[in-house]
Chain A
Amino acid sequence: MSHEKDLLLVPLHVSYIQNLGKACFLQHNKNDLMYHLTAHLRMNAIYWGLTALCTMGHPEALARDEMIDYVMSCWDEEAGGFGAHPDHDAHILSTLSAIQILVTQDAIEKLDIDRVVKFILSLQQPSGVFAGDSFGEIDTRFSYIAVNALSLLGRLEDLDVDKTVNYIVQCRNFDGGFGSRVGAESHAGQVFVCCAALTILDRLDVIDTPTLSWWLAERQLPNGGLNGRPEKLEDVCYSFWVLSSLSMLKKLHYIDSDKLTSFILSAQDPEGGGIADRPGDMPDVFHTHFGVAGLSLLGYPGLVDIDPVFCMPAALIEKKGLRKGWQALERRTGYEKSSATVENVLESEHAT
């Protein structure tokens, strides 16, 4: 393994994200098909980029005013939510990303909170799950998004908690994990959203913690990376979803942190910056964000604390009084490898 991949190449990743933002200001048509095919992810992409920058300690690297203007230009006046791109219909995914961006940028006053809350609540189905939009896709991801968003907006009391929790409980599988809807297979991404939603709602009691923690521990492969379900490939994004779930369940020490750290670092692109899903693949802002987030939870030196429940800067969440009980590995000061033991695992106090 080359020496340059033993460290997190922060300046390179910062400029990688900056370049994604800067490409927008070029006036001539780049004829980049891929760029527009990802229009429906644009709001999410900005949130991923911004949060990654925050975790790496460079929140100022993307222009704040232009970012806020963009977010507001995605406001769907008819629906009362945010689309992924101007002229796109409002969707719960882009609405959360918009809220997260505005909270991070300290610009929440731009929001018509009542309308956004109304939009989010309107998406709850009779079964208790949330839809993404009027198209009708349902997924426990959207339940988490609703809980996260309402919490950030200080309007969690408007939610029918029991109804929301009851649907999540029905998604609990025989292996302790959770799926996207009732009957669906356990998947690390869905486990994350269910754990996080239940954490925010103080209902971790419905989780079979020993079984789920073991299922999560089983995601680690011999190469150090984590997969999303048995017999699937490792992927950097699971570094966050599996890790943050274990963080919430207070079982972070189940993972071999050195091996996972090495795996994430090996997925970096040492030339152009950014992190890919696995070593050798093309990087993207999604995996860059989740890779850096995972490293932060693992105590990688020089990074800023991230809140695993909201996937946002921990200090911000704490300031809003939303911090829940979760674990992170102690931030190392040097770059030597260290092992996670029960002793160096930090537990945050539940905010009162």
Chain B
Amino acid sequence: MTEPTRYADRPEWSDVLPVEQYENANPLAPIFYTNEYKDATNYFRGIIKTGEKSQRVLELTEHIIRLNPAHYTAWQYRYETLLAIDSNLEDELQLMDELAITHLKTYQVWHHRRLLMLKIRKPAAELVFIAKTFKVDAKNYHTWSYRQWLLAYFNDDELWGGELDFVEDLLYADIRNNSAWHHRFFTVFQSGVHDGEENRERVLKRELIYVKQSISLVPNNASAWNYIRGILEHHSIPYSRVTTFVQPYTLSMDEQTADLVDLDNPPPSKGAHLPCAFAIEFFADIYEAEGGDSMLKATELWKSLGNEYDIARKKYWEHRIREGLRAIQT
């Protein structure tokens, strides 16, 4: 592939004085350029000096950010130029779609979209775009935080209303997507009360059933157990409330007894890997909260975790045992 014509060789840029990158006598960290990048950034520095805001500046900044999406001054100047020459910002957003997918992990790409959205103010379409990028990287931290900002900023109940299905789709693709679980908690419990969610008792019940069913399908999922803990703590409900549900998950497949299909206590599905370490830990926390004789039962469970079911965290379980025994003595 041939290199594009340098700005230095283009007659329509001949009125601009390019400015070389500052290079002192003995810089500790000078920059080595390819000719293309050097040429483009020389001309960029040239138009910054004159303060030019024009269509060709858009062309130049696009060239630079395609080569180096982390060049935040180029992004900043591009945004100012778009406003100065009254560009169609929706066209800009669409142009950025391609860059977003190629440079998902670059913060500037998302911040630029945020600035555009503050002007365009059409969040619904943007949510659709974000969902598309998740097909490429379902856990991208910048993207998720951008989505959360978008929803909170526009605070439109219709938009919020679509989030549960959206999370559902992502969890269907990967039940262990922690970002999706976090987003669900944020949407349901930490962003105010949305239309149709006014009955908080019903919402709580729905979420408990949801996470229990998820655990039933795939018990060994840290995110789901963090979620159920989060729900209970958020509502100041003691962990013991779900004792009946958790108990079967602390046993092996052979020890399962539940026959009835109980919506409140969905049992481990066939093929589940049991016993589940997260369940054992949860059960131990229930015993610990009871105190007294139950504390000894908790230490037994912690021992089993440190020795068998969660060996990676042996040190942590030994600490819990020590603390537990100390609590009995006092």
Contact = CB atoms under 8 A, between A and B. Distances in A.
B144 A185 contact: yes
B199 interface: no
A174 B222 contact: no
A137 B22 contact: no
Q: Residue among A46, A89, A217 with the most chain B CB within 10 A?
A: A217
B148 interface: yes
A254 B28 contact: no
A89 B24 contact: no
A179 B145 contact: yes
Given A46-B28, A217-B313, A230-B226, A184 B72 contact: no
Contacts of B223: 230-231
Contact of A185 (B75, B115, B178, B189): B178
A182 B233 contact: no
Given A180-B145, A183-B148, A218 B29 contact: no
A281 B45 CA distance: 36
A81 B265 CA distance: 59
B55 interface: no
A187 interface: yes
A69 B24 CA distance: 10
Contacts of A70: 27-29
B148 A29 contact: no
Contacts of B73: 88-89
Contacts of B68: 36-37
A173 B182 contact: yes
A31 B26 CA distance: 18
A136 interface: yes
Interface residues of A, number: 65
Contacts of B26: 25, 66, 69
Contact of B115 (A136, A184, A187, A342): A136
Interface stretch (B4-12, B31-39, B86-94): B31-39
Contacts of A230: 176, 178, 222-223, 226
Contacts, number: 161
A319 interface: no
Interface in A168-183: 173-175, 179-183
A104 B230 CA distance: 42
B233 A40 contact: no
A287 interface: no
B312 A181 contact: no
Contacts of A179: 145
B311 to A, nearest CB: 8
A215 B73 CA distance: 37
B111 interface: yes
Nearest to A45: B29
A220 B312 contact: yes
Interface string B177-197: 111001101100111000000
Contact of A174 (B179, B185, B316, B322): B185
A107 interface: no
B141 interface: yes
Q: Chain A at the B interface: mostly helix, strand, loop or mixed?
A: loop
B21 A87 contact: yes
A214 interface: yes
B319 interface: yes
B111 A183 contact: no
B37 A175 contact: no
Contacts of B222: 218, 230-231
Contacts of B319: 253-254, 342
Contacts of B205: none
B71 A40 contact: yes
B315 A186 contact: no
Nearest to B112: A135
Given A230-B176, A231-B176, A184 B144 contact: yes
Q: Residue among A37, A91, A214, A215 with the most chain B CB within 10 A?
A: A37
Interface in A224-255: 229-232, 253-255
Interface in B227-269: 227, 229-231, 233-234
A218 B226 CA distance: 11
Interface in A59-105: 62-63, 66-67, 69-70, 73, 85-89, 91
Given A40-B71, A183-B145, A187-B141, A86 B45 contact: no
Contact of A221 (B22, B34, B229, B312): B312
A42 B316 CA distance: 39
Contacts of B22: 73, 86-87
A194 interface: no
Nearest to B234: A174
A255 B317 CA distance: 11
A69 B28 contact: yes
A85 B190 CA distance: 41
A222 interface: yes
A256 interface: yes
B28 A24 contact: yes
A33 interface: yes
Interface of A: 21, 24-25, 29-33, 35-37, 39-40, 42, 45-46, 62-63, 66-67, 69-70, 73, 85-89, 91, 133-137, 173-175, 179-187, 214-215, 217-218, 220-222, 229-232, 253-256, 259, 339-340, 342
- Ranked nearest first, the 7 interchain pairs of A and B with the lowest CB-CB distance are A174-B230, A70-B28, A36-B31, A183-B148, A86-B22, A185-B182, A230-B178
Interface of B: 21-22, 24, 26-34, 37, 45, 67-68, 70-73, 75-76, 107-108, 111, 115, 139, 141, 144-145, 148-149, 152, 176-179, 182-183, 185-186, 189-191, 222-223, 226-227, 229-231, 233-234, 312-316, 319, 322
17 contacts: A24-B27, A32-B32, A33-B32, A42-B31, A62-B28, A69-B26, A70-B28, A73-B24, A174-B185, A174-B233, A182-B152, A183-B148, A185-B145, A218-B222, A230-B222, A255-B315, A339-B315
